Amino acid sequence: MALVNECFLSLPGNYLFSEINKKVNTFSLQHPDAKLIRMGIGDVTKPLAKAVIDAMHQAVVEMSDAKTFRGYGPEQGYRFLIEKIIEIDFRSRGVTVQPEEVFISDGCKSDMGNIGGLFAKENVVAVTDPVYPVYVDSNVMDGRGGGTSASGMWKNIVYLPCIKENDFIPALPEKPVDIIYLCFPNNPTGTTLTKPELKKWVDYALETGALILFDAAYEAFIAEEDVPHSIFEIEGAENCAIEFRSFSKTAGFTGIRCGYTVVPKKVAARTGTGKKIFLNALWNRRQTTKFNGVSYITQRAAEAVYSDEGMRQCKENIAYYMKNAAIVRDGLKHMGLEAFGGINAPYIWFKTPENIDSWTFFDRMLKEIHVIGTPGVGFGPSGEGCLRLTAFGSREDTVAAMERFQSWSI
């Protein structure tokens, strides 16, 4: 008789964004005339850069002719893309990455979700709180949750609060942890760490043998100096960290699906008897067994992001979104709300007035001003009483949303 992985059963039934979708769809059906402004899910709205479009047309043409047709590519990705990544994303920042350390994938979410398969169930996982739900949910599926306490927190997961009171800078864990998820610039708070702050984490990992899973999906939005774009800018990180990158927000690839993961050859974990096992070979074995590479057309699209034209066009789009971010941040502050982020990241995090809880405020925003945010508590207990807004809408919608906020008697 087939037996299920019972870890699934302890998970809440819905992924956060599916839950939001359901609420919004229900409201839309009941109020078909309401003009909703969506600042909830972090999905881009600007079309793909022309350089990317041209590259895809060209790749489609290649696929139409037996002489240039491409079938199975390397599971790890094509060298033409890997070499651009190394040159532009790393070498230009003084970081050395080898081609065999880069694995192209269909997106950061897949890799961050699947990486857990490489590790023993017994690892203690630490996450910043609030946090992108995939880190927690995927670990619960893998058996590292340990059941929830009355507060809804997972007993075996260590939560590191990132809140206004600590300037959104997580403190090192008080009890030993084995795997640490860090995402900077941060989703959902939009805040960042400076190099010295990130260095504390690398030093901690080197000292304790912990592994850092570093989500750098938003690095392209960094505007300030001294904010690291890659954890590998920190000395020693190549011995203790894996980095995840995405083209979703950098180049508007949310509907195209491409990202990559850097697993340095030196980074290792241990067996129960203390033997060092290098993770690059393990991830390679995982990817070659359970994955079959990314569409050739998509990889040519990603390559075009690194052309001069592509980089210029993507930067223009990012600048557009970051102007939206400033409008949102300033608008909320002007109302007297406490707002964070939006400077090095496309997310603005704000506290509800009078400590209204996140879902109540989400519902009120939806019903009263028809603006969709994301309830902070959906990202973890430290997010209660906050909401996340994204800067990925059109300028017109962003301005209109802020006007609705201003004229709203909360």
Residue 287: enclosing H or E segment and its boundaries?
helix 279-290
Instruction: Tell me the C-alpha to C-alpha distance, in Å, between residue 199 and each of 194, 206, 227, 410.
Output: 9, 10, 11, 42
Q: Is 118 among the residues that bind a copy of itself (CB under 8 A)?
A: yes
Residue with tokens 């502050």: 333
**Residue span 171-190 as binding mask against a copy of itself, x where in contact by CB under 8 A, dash where not:** -------xx-----------
Question: Among residues 288, 215, 200, 213, which one has the least CA distance to residue 246?
Answer: 215
Residue 58: how many other CB atoms lie within 10 Å = 14
User: Under 8 Å CB-to-CB from 346, ≥6 apart: which residues?
Assistant: 42, 190, 218, 221, 249, 321, 322, 324, 325, 390, 391, 392
Please pick, from the candidates 22, 31, 57, 395, the single residue that binds a copy of itself as defined by CB under 8 A.
57
Q: Per CB under 8 A, which region of 26-34, 118-126, 218-226, 355-363 contacts a copy of itself?
A: 118-126
Q: Is 307 among the residues that bind a copy of itself (CB under 8 A)?
A: no
Please pick, from the candidates 285, 315, 334, 367, the single residue that binds a copy of itself as defined by CB under 8 A.
285
Q: Is 15 among the residues that bind a copy of itself (CB under 8 A)?
A: yes
Of 209 and 223, which CB lies nearer to a copy of itself in the complex structure?
A: 209
Of 289 and 409, which CB lies nearer to a copy of itself in the complex structure?
A: 289
334-393 residues in contact with a copy of itself (CB under 8 A) are none
**Residue span 64-93 as binding mask against a copy of itself, x where in contact by CB under 8 A, dash where not:** xxx--xxxxx--------------------
Q: Per CB under 8 A, which region of 56-64, 88-96, 145-153, 367-375 contacts a copy of itself?
A: 56-64
- The CA distance from 209 to 268, in Å, is 9
**Residue span 129-158 as binding mask against a copy of itself, x where in contact by CB under 8 A, dash where not:** ----xx--xx--xx----------------
Tell me how long the chain is. 410
391 within 8 A of 348, measured Cβ to Cβ: yes
224-253 residues in contact with a copy of itself (CB under 8 A) are 252
**Residue span 262-281 as binding mask against a copy of itself, x where in contact by CB under 8 A, dash where not:** -------xxxx----x-x-x
Of 76 and 344, which CB lies nearer to a copy of itself in the complex structure?
A: 76
DSSP state of 352: P
* Torsion sign across C-alpha atoms 88, 92, 93, 98: positive
Please pick, from the candidates 88, 282, 399, 410, the single residue that binds a copy of itself as defined by CB under 8 A.
282
Q: How many residues bind a copy of itself (CB under 8 A)?
A: 85
- The CA distance from 37 to 280, in Å, is 43
Q: Is 319 among the residues that bind a copy of itself (CB under 8 A)?
A: no
- The CA distance from 56 to 51, in Å, is 9
Of 134 and 399, which CB lies nearer to a copy of itself in the complex structure?
A: 134
Q: Is 222 among the residues that bind a copy of itself (CB under 8 A)?
A: no
Q: Per CB under 8 A, which region of 116-124, 161-169, 192-200, 362-370 contacts a copy of itself?
A: 116-124
Of 194 and 307, which CB lies nearer to a copy of itself in the complex structure?
A: 307
Residue 368: how many other CB atoms lie within 10 Å = 12
Question: Among residues 108, 73, 61, which one has the least CA distance to residue 257?
Answer: 108
Instruction: Tell me the C-alpha to C-alpha distance, in Å, between residue 360 and each of 264, 348, 371, 374.
Output: 44, 19, 13, 11
Please pick, from the candidates 84, 164, 200, 257, the single residue that binds a copy of itself as defined by CB under 8 A.
257
CB of 176 to a copy of itself, least distance (A): 8
